[in-house]
Structure 1
Amino acid sequence: MGHHWRIIGETGFRFFGKMSASISHDIKNVLAIINENAGLLEDITLMEAKGIPVDPERIKTIAGKIKRQIQRADKIVKNMNRFAHSVDETLGNIDLGELLALVAALSERSASMRCVTLRPEPLSGPVIMRGNPFLLENLVWRCLDFAMDRAGERKIIGLVAEKVEKGVQIRFTGLAGLSEGSRTAFPAEREKALFALLKADFKADEVAGELVVTVPAEGG
């Protein structure tokens, strides 16, 4: 168990660092766009000061772009806040649908770089389990990172949460190339440590093109 926790600690730091870097990159992009549009507004005020006619619609368009970026930044910061607070409790109730949506949002940049779309599927009702939120987020990310490199022709990966007899299940759909050869590297040591601590099971369904993770309702 001590060996598992050593691996988990190292993996957790890497995960937290990667997500933090991605978030800061997104915020930097938002600020760059706002700064660019602020510069355009400054140019317009200089034109107006020189008596050059100003198109109100142009100002409205620029203001709209700034407003959209502020809304985008607000969403990014809210996700960052939720992610940061996931380390507050080692055991708590987890809304699996919300957790999948959060990890998908945090992974958007990584998905975009691979031309992949992440699509958390809507649920008919809440899927709740008890466990360590941060460890489960880490496990979902590790599975998602593997899945994104094996996205099928449509390049859309679905994230499905559902209740099953043994607890709860997470399915990563829309995959291809889940042959024996591609599975040899996954799950590797880091993933195996997470599976062990969460008491989770893993299955790659090549026919359905899915990764399936099953976690007991009390997932450690």
Structure 2
Amino acid sequence: MSSDWELIGRTGLSFFGKMAASISHEIKNVLAIINENAGLLEDITLMAEKGTPVDPDRLKTQAVRIKNQVRRADGIVRNMNKFAHSVDESLVSVDLAELSELLAALSGRFAYTRGVTLESASVGSSATIRTNPFLLENLIWLCLDFAMDMSGSGKTVGIIVEKTEVGGRIRFTQLEALGEPPTDKFPGEVEKALLAALKAQITKDVDSGELVLTVSKNMEH
């Protein structure tokens, strides 16, 4: 059992670092765009100082672009803050849909580089579970990472959250390549350790192209 927790710990650090690096990359991209637009505003100002008429619409366009990037950065930082605080407590009540949406947002850049579209949805009433949020985030990411590899030619992964009698479940849908190798290698050693710790289970429905993560209402019981 101790070896499982060592494995979970190593994987958790790797997961945290991977997400932190992706978030910082996104913030750098936003800053680069803001800097580019600020440079254009500076050029317009220099032209005005030399007597060139200033087009108000052009100024407005640059201002809107900067405001949009500031809004984008605010969303990135909010998600980063939620993710960072997920390690604060080892057992809390969480909304499974909100946690799933957070992971989808954090995984957006990884999906984009693979040409995959993520489509999130919740069905029925919200599923509130008592669990370790960071460990569950890690497990959701591993499932999502695998699902993106299995998206096939459709390049779309549906993420559907549902409440169940035992807690909640996340269905990763539209996995066209789910029946192809190496699907037999998932879940692997890391996923199995997390599943045991969280009292969760993974099932695969090859015919419907779905990977289902079912999570217990309370990981203590």
Check whether TM > 0.5.
yes
Q: Pairwise mapping of residues 1-220 of structure 1 onto structure 2 (< 5 A)?
A: 1-179=1-179, 181-220=181-220
Which TM-score applies when normalising by structure 2?
0.96
State the distance in 2 between where 1:164 and 1:119 align.
21
How far 1:180 moved relative to its partner?
6.5
1:145-167 residue CA offsets vs partner (Å, 9 max, x unmatched): 00001114332211111122332
8 Å contact kept, 2:123–2:161: yes
Residue by residue over 1:59-112, the C-alpha shift from the partner in whole angstroms, topping out at 9 and shown as x without a partner, is 000000000000000000000000000001100101001000000000000000
Q: Alignment identity in percent?
A: 59
For the residues of structure 1 that align with 2:96 and 2:219, how far apart are their CA atoms? 12
Q: Distance in 2 between matches of 1:73 and 1:180?
A: 39
Give the 3-state SS of the residue equivalent to 2:115 in structure 1: coil
CA–CA separation in structure 2 for the residues paired with 1:132 and 1:159: 20
d(CA) in 1 for partners of 2:109, 2:211: 21
Offset of 1:123 from its aligned partner? 3.8
Q: Secondary structure at the match of 1:181?
A: coil
5+ residue gaps, structure 2: none
Instruction: Give the whole-Å Cα distance in 1 for the aligned partners of 2:210 and 2:97.
Output: 18
Letter in 2 for 1:23: I
Amino acid at match of 2:18: K
Gaps of 5+ in 1: none
Contact 1:97–1:123 (CA<8 Å) still a contact in 2?
no
